[in-house]
Amino acid sequence: MHIDPNYIAIDNLFFRLTEQFIVPAYQRRYSWGLRQLGELFDDINKLKIEDSHLLSSIVFLKGESKGGINQYEIIDGQQRITTLSIIFLSLKEKYLKLNDKNKLSSLDKLLFCEGYSRTSQPKLILGELDNVDYSILLNSKEDDFNKIKNHHLLDAINFYKQKLPDNQNQLDDFYDKISTKLKLIRLDVSSASDAYKLFEVINNRGLKLTASDIIKNFILGNAAQKDDGTNIKNVKESWKNLVVYLDGISIDNFLRHFLSGILKRKLAMSKVAAEFKKYYYLKVEQTESLSEYSFYDSPEDDNEENEEILIAKDNEDDENSINPGVLEGEKARISSVEKIDIKELASDLEKSAEIYAKIYNREFDSEKVNECLRNLSRVEAKPSYSFLLHLFKLNVNDKVAIEIIKMVETFMLRWHICGRRTSALDDIFPRMTNLSTLNLLAEVKLKLKEKMPDDNEFISRLKLYDFNGNLDRAKYILEQIEYRLMNHHGEYSINSGADVHLEHIIPQKIKSQKSKQEFGDWETYLGINSIKEHEKYVHTIGNLTLIAQVLNIKASNNPFLVKKKEYKKSILQLNKDLVKNYNNFKFNDLKRRAEKLAHQAVAIWNI
């Protein structure tokens, strides 16, 4: 590995007019938050005359040298390079107001480069998703700032414009500190495989790197190492498309679900990078000759993974436990499949990312499929995404997909309401990727019913389930019950946004003077032990309904009768039932209504 290291000040890095820094399209978007922005500002601002500050290292992959502008890919350090450029832009705005032409000229040399043609170009080119936004900042088009899609870029420019002083002397002092006292180690590498390996060596000695960072550099490094002229080009393009598809979605979560489905078992986030490498060496052709192969071909670390899973599962039934032979069998299963080249693996990741994004964003061609996925999202079903990714990769027809999603929704809702451990879901759904495709519907039904809480448990737990902190789930349940009450056939839709509110029949507060003025004296109306009973039942299903308007309540000795007058204005069957069947609404009435609603729910969410 040949590396050209240089310990240089920031102005020496940016002042080289024939160099242009490129953030490759496969890199993640700019994502520094206010904490990182503030820490960098403080590190610079607090420097004294005799001090300097080391801003870690930057890894560049050198392109082919040529006349004019030479491009350098930023393999490691794009967040820092981008932030420094934004600080320069903020300084430029300050010096524009001060009309300091010398400083403006110096800043332009930091922000732009030029070749022999003397044509000015941006010093920094960001990735495909960010460069349009950065161009708006670079050209100081404040009127277009509202078009910036990456809020991190907008937050950064606004942060530094606010933090930088307006006073000339103070501004000059800060400019001097950032340009001459801020140092970094520049590492120029000629070989792509060496560059990606160096990235991991520098960063992967703690918790700094994400799984996706490690995997990206691992796969690109291997593509460069065994390049046939097309490997690195195709792999870069596939990873770039993966990043674009997963914009706004955690790439780490995608990779965990992708691998869990392949391995057919639970996978802790801390293990994703290592398990991907193991999968790579067993799946991709011509890896046997690599020095790392023997390490990943052996199961020496499997006991740690087994222990982690068994601890999380506690006393769950033995069927979900991982016995010592499972991981060895997993290795044999992956190895027995025909090996593929690295381009095919990257293409599979790209295709999987596209499907995952469609699941996450509900963007399939079928609106009925998307509606089912929206419903699934509202019951918080992300643990099922490993199985859903597998399902949609099978190209099942819409009818089958809809039936399976509805079954998953039923399973997930019952699981949550009955208080089962969420960690177990990360084991159940990956295992379902092993189901036979010959009779998929029947097998999914059998597998889910095997683990799903039964009707009696669901009814008893739903009646007492406290929705405080998860009121949207309550809202969704009531919406579906409303559809059933009015024999919904698809022509009727409740606005699930701000226009329809979740209403507590007995108010959330009943003992304060203000609540009594607004909602009536419920504390007296409800009788003995009202406060204790109220705490237990106020956020349960029996006390909740939907309402499309703000209630006009006045203090009353029987506050429910006043509410009934408002419920009469509603077209919802839930409220018509309240008006028709309840003359009073005390805790016994609440329990009776909860029983009725729970039986409605068990008929809806049933397999």
Q: What is the DSSP string of 478-519?
A: HHHHHHHHTT--SS-----STTSEEEESS-S--SSHHHHHHH
pLDDT of residue 553: 65
pLDDT of residue 489: 53
Residues of the chain with pLDDT under 70: 1-4, 65-67, 117, 193-208, 226, 288-337, 488-498, 551-557
pLDDT of residue 208: 58
Structure tokens, 365: 């061609």
Do residues 505 and 578 touch, judged by C-beta distance below 8 A? yes
Amino acid letter, 256:
R
pLDDT of residue 291: 52
User: How many residues does the structure list for the chain?
Assistant: 607
Classify 450 as helix, strand or coil. helix
Q: Is residue 190 packed enough to be buried (19+ CB in 10 Å), middle (13-18) or exposed (0-12)?
A: middle
Of 527, 514, 517, 512, nearest to 553 (Cα)? 517
pTM of the model: 0.73
pLDDT of residue 513: 86
Sign of CA dihedral 530, 535, 537, 541: positive
pLDDT of residue 315: 35
Describe the crossing of helices 211-225 and 342-361 by its angle, rounded to 10 degrees: 150
pLDDT of residue 53: 86
Sign of CA dihedral 269, 274, 277, 282: negative
- For the CA atoms of the chain, what is the radius of gyration? 30
